Each structure stands twice: as C-alpha cells, then as structure tokens.
Amino acid sequence: MIRIIPFFLLIFFHPAIYSTGAGENIPDSSHKIHPGYARLMPKVIAVLPMDNLSLEPDVENFLYDEVYNRLLSKGYIRISVESVREKMERLGIQTPGQIAGISPQKLGKELNCDAVLIGQIDQSGTIHAGVYDAVAVSCSLGLMNCADGELLWHCQQWRAAHRQWSLDPFNAIINTFGHENASRKDRVAWLVQEMMKTLPEGPVRVVNDDLLNQAVEIQTEPAK
C-alpha cells in the first residue's frame, strides 16, 4: 500500500505543476508601436467604452477609469467621459462590441479627436489546479488613428495574482472562494500602469507638477 502512495501523490501534484506552467506560459506583456508613431502621433484622444469578454461584471469599468486617469500624464488631451458617453448614445452603441461597426473616420468626426483608445478585459477569473490557486486577469489596449484606422499602439498584459499553494484541501476551498471575492480593481490598475509605460509620450507637455489642477479635458462640438 505504502508503495503506491507516491503514485497517488504524483496524481495529486501533477495538475498543479502542469497548470501553473500552462497559465504562465503566456507572456506577461506584449506591445507593439507603429513605426511611424512620431509622425502620426495624436494629440486628442477619446477613450471609448471598454469591452469585457470575461464573465465577471464591471471589471471593464475599472479598466476604463484607470486608462482615462493615466492618459493625461502621458501628454495627451482627452475627450471628456460625458462627451464620449453622449456620442456613443447617439451612435446607438449599446455594448462596446458594436463600436467595431462604426468606421474610425466617423468616430473621429463625431468625437472630434485624432485617435480613439479601445480596450478590453480578455480574461478575469480564477485558476485552480490541485494545490495551486490564483486569480488571473488579462487585458489589452489599442490606440487607433481616426484618419486611416491604423493601429498606432497595442499592448496586452497578463497577470496571475494571489498565488497560493495549499496541501490542505479545506484551506484550498477557502482560498478558492476567497479568490472569487479578491479585488480585481487593484489587479487591473497594476496592468494598466504597466501597459501605459509602453505608450509613447504625447505632444502635450505639463510645465509644472501641479497635476491635479492640470486636468485638461475638452468637450466635443455640442449636439445639433
């Protein structure tokens, strides 16, 4: 009997060894910048509603807020959230997936911007593999030139957090439920911070460090 125990233990540990590897084989980060970015660099950017492919509600709003808040410090002028919301309503966008049906030129004209920042939560969920548990969040962002629809910048980030190993099955169950309630906002914020590092600096220079009062927002043309 004792001889076969290692065999069962191997079965017990194998999924964890295998799964941790599988989950983290995905590169943590990848980004791409258009070769002509310096020439095509936009000045005014509209952050469009973010899509959410996962089954966890509201994570896309964390992504949106983080991107919107961090964009200014990168030297870009942004269109106000209210204006974007109003234009989306006018275009009949009821879910972010529908934005793909509107041409970049039309978006640029409606929003009065040079480029639109699109993004999505690719994945938000938990990983469980035997003795291993984690929260996995991945998202991607893209900056699209309104004039020609070219993708100027694209970045993807993947992160497993709250990694925990537990031999005790009961503790593992507690971990599993704990992960369900773990904050995705912090994870998303970290991912956005990492992704925004790869976005080239914009043309707007902040001359003092009073960032709080430097908030630059523009409204698009009033609705006719």
Partner 1 sequence: MKTHIRISGILFFLIVWGSCTYTPSQVQYSTPKVVTKEIPQSLKYRPAEKKLVAFVGMENKSIYAADSLWDIASRLLTTRLVEIGYFSVVDWEKMKQNYDTVSLKNASLVSRPTDFVTVRDQLTCDLFLGGAITYYDVSQTAQVSAISKSKTMTTNVRVDLWLQDAQNGEYVSAASGSGRAEQQFAGGLLGGSIGTWDINVANNALHIAIDEALVKMLTMYKERGENRHRADSAYRTAPPAPSLPGQAGMQVSSVPQHPAYPDRGLPVTNFSGFRRVSNKWGLVMGVSRFMDSRVNPLDYTAKDALAMYQYLVDPAYGKFAPEQVFLLTDDRATSFNIKLALDIISRHALPEDLVVIFVSSHGTPGDMDVEGVGYLVTYDTLVDSLYATAFNMSEIVSAVTKRIKAQTVVTLADACYSAGSFRDVKFLTVKGAKDLIVDAGDSPVQREMVKASLQSRSFGIPDAIVRQMSSGSGRVFITSSRVDEQSWESDRLQHGFFTYYLLEFLKTKGEQASVQNSFAYIQKKIPEEVMKEKGKPQHPVLGMKDVKGEIRLDIPPVANP
Q: Binder to partner 1 among 29, 61, 69, 98 (CB under 8 A)?
A: 98
**Any idea which residue has 């409606």 for tokens?**
110
- Count H helices and E strands in the chain, helices first: 7, 8
Residues in the chain, how many? 224
Tell me if 73 contacts partner 1 by CB under 8 A: no
Tell me if 169 contacts partner 1 by CB under 8 A: yes
Tell me if 142 contacts partner 1 by CB under 8 A: no
Q: Which amino acid is at 122?
A: D
Q: Which amino acid is at 192?
A: V
Q: Binder to partner 1 among 38, 177, 222, 223 (CB under 8 A)?
A: 177
Under rule CB under 8 A, which residues in 182-221 are in contact with partner 1? none
| Rounded CA separation 146/223 (Å) | 20
Q: Binder to partner 1 among 70, 74, 128, 185 (CB under 8 A)?
A: 128
| Rounded CA separation 33/30 (Å) | 10
To partner 1, the closest distance from the beta carbon of 199 in angstroms equals 24
Between 95 and 208, CB nearer to partner 1: 95
Task: Work out the end-to-end distance of the chain between its first and last CA atoms, rounded to an integer number of angstroms.
Answer: 82
Angle formed by the axes of helices 81-90 and 104-111, nearest 10°: 130
- Single out the segment in contact with partner 1 by CB under 8 A; choices: 11-19, 41-49, 62-70, 197-205: 11-19
Q: CA 185, 18, 179 angle in degrees (round to 5)?
A: 25
Q: Binder to partner 1 among 31, 34, 56, 185 (CB under 8 A)?
A: 56
Q: Which residues contact 205 (CB under 8 A, 6 or more apart)?
A: 75
Tell me if 122 contacts partner 1 by CB under 8 A: yes
- Single out the segment in contact with partner 1 by CB under 8 A; choices: 67-75, 130-138, 142-150, 204-212: 130-138
Q: Binder to partner 1 among 29, 61, 69, 123 (CB under 8 A)?
A: 123
To partner 1, the closest distance from the beta carbon of 21 in angstroms equals 11
DSSP letters of 93-130?
-SSGGGGGGS-HHHHHHHHT-SEEEEEEEEEEEEEEET
Between 6 and 222, CB nearer to partner 1: 6
The helix or strand, by DSSP H or E, that contains position 180, with its residue range, turns out to be helix 169-180
Size of the site for partner 1 (CB under 8 A): 51
Residues that bind partner 1 (CB under 8 A): 1, 5, 8-9, 11-16, 18-19, 22-23, 51-57, 90-98, 100-103, 106, 120, 122-131, 136, 169, 172, 177, 180
